Amino acid sequence: MATIFLIDDDLSIIKLFDKFLTILGHVIVAKAYDGEEAVKLFHEFRKIPDLILMDHRMPKKDGLTAAKEILNFNNKSKIIFLSADYTVKDEALALGAKYFLEKPFKLDKLSQIIEKVSMET
């Protein structure tokens, strides 16, 4: 079981991932709908979530910028990018993201990646 911070500007995706991950037994500690809100919420966390599921193309602040700021604040944060924007894959991984999952993907794949990244020290 992992604590997860969900970031995506698509409300339907947030709802569905929330439902799916909760069924799997994970705990969604917070949700953000743009990069700016994500960074703001992350600064307010008393306990850092085990995983951050981050979209890239979002209003106000994109995923790459938000991830950079989050990692600058806490470099141990585990970020998994879930994005349909495959062009930023290399940049996201170079930044320090643990994985880049290209949308659309099967939900089984997401649960495997979450398990794999959670176990990494």
Binding site for other proteins (CB under 8 A): 10, 12-13, 16-17, 19-20, 23, 57, 84-87, 102-107
In order, the DSSP letters of 67-102 are: HHHHHHH-TT--EEEEES-GGGHHHHHHHT-SEEEE
Q: Kindly report the CA angle at 36 between 100 and 27, in degrees rounded to 5?
A: 60
Between the alpha carbon of residue 59 and those of residues 24, 40, 62, 87, the distances in Å are 29, 14, 7, 18
Closer CB to other proteins, residue 73 or residue 105? Answer: 105
In the complex, least distance from residue 74 CB atom to other proteins, rounded to whole angstroms: 28
Residue number, 42 or 58, with CB nearest to other proteins: 58
Q: How far is the CB of 58 from other proteins (least distance, A)?
A: 11
| Contact status, residue 27 vs residue 49, Cβ threshold 8 Å | no
Q: Which is nearer to other proteins, 74 or 102 (CB)?
A: 102
CB of residue 46 to other proteins, shortest distance in Å: 31
Q: Which is nearer to other proteins, 40 or 57 (CB)?
A: 57
